[in-house]
Amino acid sequence: MLKNDLLLRTLKRETTERTPVWMMRQAGRYLPEYIKLREKYSFFERVQNPQLTCEITIQPIDIIGVDAAILFSDILVVPQAMGLEVQLIESKGPFLPEPVKTKNDLKRICVPNVHETLGYVFDAIKLIKQELNGRVPLIGFAGAPWTILCYMVQGKGSKTFDEAKAFCYTQPGLAHQLLQMITDTTIAYLKEQVKAGADAIQIFDSWGGLLSKYDFENISLKYIRQIVTALKDEVPVIIFAKGAWYSLKEMSETGAACLGIDWCIEPQMARKFSGDKISLQGNFDPAKLLSPIPEIKKEVMQMLNAFGKGKHIANLGHGILPNVPVDHAKAFVNTVKEFEIKP
Amino acid sequence: MLKNDLLLRTLKRETTERTPVWMMRQAGRYLPEYIKLREKYSFFERVQNPQLTCEITIQPIDIIGVDAAILFSDILVVPQAMGLEVQLIESKGPFLPEPVKTKNDLKRICVPNVHETLGYVFDAIKLIKQELNGRVPLIGFAGAPWTILCYMVQGKGSKTFDEAKAFCYTQPGLAHQLLQMITDTTIAYLKEQVKAGADAIQIFDSWGGLLSKYDFENISLKYIRQIVTALKDEVPVIIFAKGAWYSLKEMSETGAACLGIDWCIEPQMARKFSGDKISLQGNFDPAKLLSPIPEIKKEVMQMLNAFGKGKHIANLGHGILPNVPVDHAKAFVNTVKEFEIKP
């Protein structure tokens, strides 16, 4: 039994006493307690050791007081499980030394047995659920297939991911084969996250907004839809396709419980596009958490009023920045908790 | 007298026999003829030597056959003229070793005499006009004040420009002072470009789309509006605020002749937002130029049909990528030239 089920009730579009709040990347680099662990353990040690993963996942619950925990992990554990080498070097971002470029490269990867390759995630989830002891729900997650393909093909971060796009435009057959392999792996992975105890699932399509509406449908949403369909009867699913405002309507029709939005779309506009039957999550500009605290409070209240009462999960519009002072993050969360939305 | 005035007539919303076409960054790194000059001369030699600037500006007219020339230069000549050191290292992007962070830093910069600091640009424009000899019009340009501030404060490229944003959010007085100084410099700079012979002006707000609608109005559009107001009676002005789809309506009311859009908004939607009284420019995904030529042709025709007849300047939705084959760029341009739009 959950003591705080604000998030889950909002995902079911039930009325709650107040708006639930959490922050993308809340377990991580802005917290001194996290930085201490980072100095001692490599990224994959932190991700693959259930005890460490559990400790990091729960830090923001204790320190910041958010209404949900989100598994500490990385979307690139999926391509790693599929057989690609993934390096995550602090402050340098991801690096995949042998990216997928040709038909031959596809032979190096597979749809893995997720128990064998990602068992450490399920162990971590079980431990987190035990340690949380019903305080707040736990969100599991994975990257959207298009975003995973971006890294598998480009091999590193990019502003435009033009090599990944060129791969899709010049070798569409291969691209769709790869996208389907990622999708199959992701479905198996997320189903096991749910079995292990995840109360909700978020799909991160960080690079969805680099595509035109047509390409987003064809290269990204088609596969997200498969994932939502496979999971939605077991657990509520949140889709966060950053920048893909133009497909909010289509995303709202997938069966997802909630859509994440960034600060570049006004809440009223997002409601108009996504309709009345879905919750929205967001959309505070993470850079605004660098503002003075009174300014943060003012802007959070404006955001809450703009979303209106109900069907809203307060969050940032992207991950929290590493240089945000902890008391600014607290001010964000506390303002949501204290605010009375005009009905 | 211009022999090809398709662009200028489209900017006046006159009916033309066909859609004009040019490409952002058409003078540059995908052309072997440009790469040869790059191997011999540093970036600032190419930009500051009118003879070289002229040669590079005219290359795509001769080689690709576009309907307009755009001055070969960089938006960062403005902060350089204002007194900041700007380094442009090939394949590394811009670097400003002493960015603006404090009130004291503002003392290091000024609103310069543009004749003294940017005279080489006006000399280049005069030479280009002479060499073009009326073949096609010449577009002059500058960065939008917000985008210039991004580099002046952050000191280098960034995905989020969070330091630039934090500067605006924590020191708004200082930020607006800096934005006004950039605006005043830009107006003087562009007025002289027009005097030297520029037939149209484009304002590049490459980072406009990082802001919420509210911040875009307050930090960016407010200053773009001043620039448009100062120029629009002399020359048609194109605003290209990449990603700022949410403010197309407000931009259409500035007096600009045309709005640039990227591929993440459908032409019909952009028309709806911007109204019937303004031309639109764009919006081919630059990564699509890596597709096979038949695919490029098909997609260009789809784009042209989506914009419909008139009030459209065919272009990319961002700069051409360095790895685009020259014949793919030609296929883009030729498809526009040969296409009969259904009325």
**Domain presence at residue A307:** no
CB < 8 Å to B170, chain A: 290-292
Mean pLDDT computed over A236-259? 98
Residue A4, preceding peptide bond in cis (omega within 30° of 0): no
User: How many whole angstroms separate alpha carbon A218 and alpha carbon A234?
Assistant: 26
Q: What is the largest CA-CA distance in chain B?
A: 59
pLDDT of residue A92: 81
Predicted confidence (pLDDT) per residue in A142-201, tens digit: 999 999 999 999 999 999 999 999 999 999 999 999 999 999 999 999 999 999 999 999
Q: What is the mean pLDDT of chain A?
A: 96
DSSP three-state, residue B72: coil
Asked whether the beta carbons of residue B160 and residue A285 sit closer than 8 angstroms, the reply is no
Q: Does A56 lie at the interface with B, CB-CB under 8 angstroms?
A: no
**If you measure CA to CA, which chain A residue comes closest to B261?**
A212
Predicted confidence (pLDDT) per residue in B114-147, tens digit: 999 999 999 999 999 999 999 999 999 999 999 9
User: How many whole angstroms separate alpha carbon A115 and alpha carbon A121?
Assistant: 9
User: How many whole angstroms separate alpha carbon A222 and alpha carbon A254?
Assistant: 10
**Domain presence at residue A140:** yes
Asked whether the beta carbons of residue B321 and residue A162 sit closer than 8 angstroms, the reply is yes
Asked whether the beta carbons of residue A169 and residue B243 sit closer than 8 angstroms, the reply is no
Predicted confidence (pLDDT) per residue in B244-283, tens digit: 999 999 999 999 999 999 999 999 999 999 998 999 999 9
Contact yes or no for B58/B128 (Cβ under 8 A): yes
**Domain presence at residue B1:** no
**Domain presence at residue B251:** yes
pLDDT interval class at B341 (50, 70, 90): low
pLDDT at A343 over 60: no
pLDDT at A247 over 70: yes
pLDDT of residue A222: 98
pLDDT of residue B39: 94
DSSP character for A288?
Answer: G
pLDDT interval class at A340 (50, 70, 90): confident
**Please, what is the end-to-end C-alpha distance for chain B in angstroms?**
29
**Domain presence at residue A268:** no
Q: Which of A1, A12, A20, A4 lies closest to A309 in space, CA to CA?
A: A20
Asked whether the beta carbons of residue B170 and residue A292 sit closer than 8 angstroms, the reply is yes
Domain holding B60: CATH number? Answer: 3.20.20.210
Q: Which helix (H) or strand (E) holds A70?
A: strand A69-70
User: How many whole angstroms separate alpha carbon B98 and alpha carbon B187?
Assistant: 24
Q: What domain count does chain B have?
A: 1
Asked whether the beta carbons of residue B287 and residue A170 sit closer than 8 angstroms, the reply is no
ipTM of the complex: 0.94
Q: Which of B213, B265, B292 sits opposite A266 (nearest CB)?
A: B213
- Percent of chain B at pLDDT > 70 equals 99
Mean pLDDT computed over B6-11? 98
Task: For chain B, positions 284-343, list CB contacts with chain A under 8 A.
Answer: 285-288, 290-292, 295, 318, 321, 323
Residue A282 φ/ψ, nearest 5 degrees: 145, -155
Q: Does B264 lie at the interface with A, CB-CB under 8 angstroms?
A: yes
pLDDT interval class at B89 (50, 70, 90): confident
In this structure, the number of other CB atoms found within 10 A of the CB of residue A190 comes to: 25
CB < 8 Å to A321, chain B: 160, 162
State the nearest Cα–Cα gap between A116 and chain B, in angstroms.
36
Predicted confidence (pLDDT) per residue in A325-335, tens digit: 999 999 999 99
pLDDT at A336 over 80: yes
pLDDT interval class at B343 (50, 70, 90): low
Radius of gyration of chain A (CA): 19
Active site residues of A: 25, 29, 38, 74, 151
**Domain presence at residue A250:** yes
Mutation target among A150, A160, A162 for the B interface, most CBs of B within 10 A = A162
pLDDT of residue A342: 63
Q: What is the mean pLDDT of chain B?
A: 96
Could you tell me which residue, B289 or B340, shows the higher pLDDT?
Answer: B289
**Domain presence at residue B196:** yes
pLDDT at A66 over 70: yes
In sequence order, the 6+-apart residues with CB closer than 8 A to the CB of A272 are none
pLDDT at B237 over 60: yes
Mean pLDDT computed over A223-246? 98
pLDDT of residue A60: 98
Helices (H), ranges, chain B? 6-11, 32-40, 43-48, 50-63, 77-81, 103-106, 114-132, 145-154, 162-170, 172-196, 213-215, 222-231, 248-252, 267-274, 293-307, 326-338
pLDDT at A341 over 90: no
Asked whether the beta carbons of residue B162 and residue A265 sit closer than 8 angstroms, the reply is no
- Percent of chain B at pLDDT > 90 equals 96
pLDDT at A215 over 60: yes
pLDDT interval class at B90 (50, 70, 90): confident
**Domain presence at residue A297:** no
CB pairs under 8 A between A and B: 81
Active site residues of B: 25, 29, 38, 74, 151
Predicted confidence (pLDDT) per residue in A299-317, tens digit: 999 999 999 989 999 999 9
Residue range(s) defining the domain that contains residue A233: 6-255
pLDDT at A90 over 80: no
